[in-house]
Amino acid sequence: MTSVPPVAPTADDPAALVALLRELVEIESPTGTPGVAAASAWTRARLEALGGTTVLEDGGHLQVDFPGGGAPLVLLAHTDTVWAVGTLAGMPFRVADGRIHGPGAYDMKAGIVTILAALAEAPRPGDPARRALRVLITADEEQGSVSARPHIAAAAAGAAAALVLEPCLPGGGVKLHRKGIGRFQLTVHGRAAHAGTQPSPGISAIDELARQVVAVHGLADPARGISVNVGVIRGGTAENVIPARAEAQIDIRITQQTQAPELESALRALVPEVAGARHEWTGAWTRPPLECSPGAEQLFAAAARHAAALGLQLDRGGSGGGSDGNLIGALGVPVLDGLGPDGAGAHATHEHILAASLPQRARLLARLLLDPGVA
């Protein structure tokens, strides 16, 4: 970094916020690429210009602390995107019809810009009104936050609450709960044989897998928020060979942690229906559910009050998708997620935010940071 970047603009300068978002979107940062560290360095420089002290920078994971009173409030975001390097060429940053388009604009670089703009409005370090803040930016959220986990745990220690700047619900609503996610694989082992041999010594792994796909889908329980999706199947070698092996990749989502052992035992209790076939299960829960908590209710009440003062109605809800909010929530920290700007098209080519929402969310977050009653 050859020069110190200027302190980020506030919500009073929406055009400058758009320019800031453009800079960050134009650093392409799919998970696991050098762009993630570049986006992290860009963010670090701007957080330091706002008075923060970097306490961690590790492979794109970034924690910047702001001194102040009380237990720290964690602001959580991620720099990685799902978009490959080169996407910008065909899907450039552009503003049209009140929408800001670009890879990662909505999920969730606009959330990072929201943090910068809110901090630019917060009292300077040393001001008695300043509360302790801890900004954690993770680098592999889009691939399950495997390497971010220890950093999330460290940031959760002693934290009063976490505000997550992930995209909101359509229309601006925040997320008080999220589903937990399990990724499992069923491999069926059978025995190969010539398809024409009668009687056949073969054991068809595909026949068995087909039956188990039906059984696995039968474990879904929409009334309890349990969903099951066999998303990938593979198996067999040729049409004239009884297949010795077949496998299915399964996504299971739950709303309560107590459902995890229940589902796991249900999977393992599935008995082979084709004589001689054998099941092998692998996989794990990749994110615990974010369950609504009294602390989250309090955070929502404060956010709704501040939104109302800004002339906005703040709705609440949940999401079937996971975020780092699931991980920090599982550590006992109250979480309010979905505080990022409104928009649509996460992970899709029509990804965009609503331009008017960016200063609105920055103002809302700034008010939350200034409220000593928040957590």
DSSP 3-state percent helix, strand, coil across the chain (nearest 5): 35, 30, 40
Question: In the complex, what is the shortest distance from the CB of residue 78 to Zn ion, in angstroms, rounded to a whole number?
Answer: 6
Q: Which stretch binds Zn ion (CB under 5 A): 103-111, 195-203, 213-221, 274-282?
A: 103-111
CA gyration radius, the chain: 24
Burial group, residue 240, by CB count within 10 angstroms (0-12, 13-18, 19+) = exposed
Q: Is 71 helix (H, G, I), strand (E, B) or coil?
A: strand
The region of 43-51, 87-95, 106-114, 194-202 touching Zn ion under the rule CB under 5 A is 106-114
Quote the least distance from Cβ 194 to Zn ion, whole Å: 51
β-strands 161-164, 316-319 pairing = unpaired
**Angle, in degrees to the nearest 10, between helices 294-309 and 357-370:** 120
Query: Between residues 80 and 121, which has the closer beta carbon with respect to Zn ion?
Result: 80
User: Which residue stretch of 64-72, 101-109, 213-221, 355-363 sits at the interface with Zn ion (rule: CB under 5 A)?
Assistant: 101-109
Q: Which two tokens stand for residue 365?
A: 């977050």
- Considering the complex, state which of residue 76 and residue 277 has its C-beta at the smaller distance from Zn ion: 76
Q: Give the residue with the Cβ less far from Zn ion, 74 or 246.
A: 74
In the complex, minimum distance from the CB of residue 203 to Zn ion, in angstroms, rounded to a whole number: 44
Q: Which is nearer to Zn ion, 243 or 318 (CB)?
A: 318
Between 81 and 212, name the residue whose CB sits nearer to Zn ion: 81
User: Which alpha helices (H) appear in 85-131, and where do they start and end?
Assistant: 87-90, 110-121
Would you say 108 or 302 has its CB closer to Zn ion?
108
**Nearest distance from C-beta of residue 211 to Zn ion, angstroms:** 37
Smallest separation, CB 353 to Zn ion (Å): 13
Report if residue 107 touches Zn ion, rule: CB under 5 A. yes
> Three-state DSSP class for 289?
coil
For Zn ion, the binding residues in 159-188 under the rule CB under 5 A are: 166
With CB under 5 A as the rule, give the number of residues binding Zn ion. Answer: 3
CB 100 within 8 A of CB 28: no
Which residue's CB is nearer to Zn ion, number 190 or number 325?
Answer: 325
Neighbours of 267 (CB within 10 A): 20
Binders of Zn ion among residues 322 to 351 (CB under 5 A) are: none
For 144: left if phi > 0, alpha if psi spans -120 to 50, otherwise beta; the answer is left
- Minimum distance, C-beta of residue 49 to Zn ion, in the bound complex (Å): 25
Query: Cβ 357 to Zn ion, closest distance in Å?
Result: 16
Binding mask 118-157 toward Zn ion (x if CB under 5 A, else -) reads ----------------------------------------
Give me the 50-89 binding string for Zn ion, x by CB under 5 A, dash otherwise.
----------------------------------------
- Min separation Cβ 22 and Zn ion, Å: 19
Which of 191, 174, 145, 113 lies closest to 313 in space, CA to CA?
A: 174
Judged by CB under 5 A, the residue of 25, 108, 174, 314 near Zn ion is: 108
Report, in Å, the least distance between residue 166 CB and Zn ion: 5
Quote the least distance from Cβ 193 to Zn ion, whole Å. Answer: 48
Cα 78 to Cα 148: distance, rounded to the nearest angstrom: 10
157 contacts: CB under 8 Å, gap ≥ 6: none
186 vs 330 by CB, closer to Zn ion: 330
Stretch that binds Zn ion, among 1-9, 118-126, 158-166, 192-200 (CB under 5 A): 158-166
Calpha distance 3→108 (Å, rounded): 26
C-alpha distances out from residue 94 to 90, 103, 259, 355, Å: 11, 10, 44, 11
Residue nearer to Zn ion on the CB measure, 107 or 207: 107
Is-contact 250 230, C-beta < 8 A?
yes
Contact residues: Zn ion, CB under 5 A: 107-108, 166
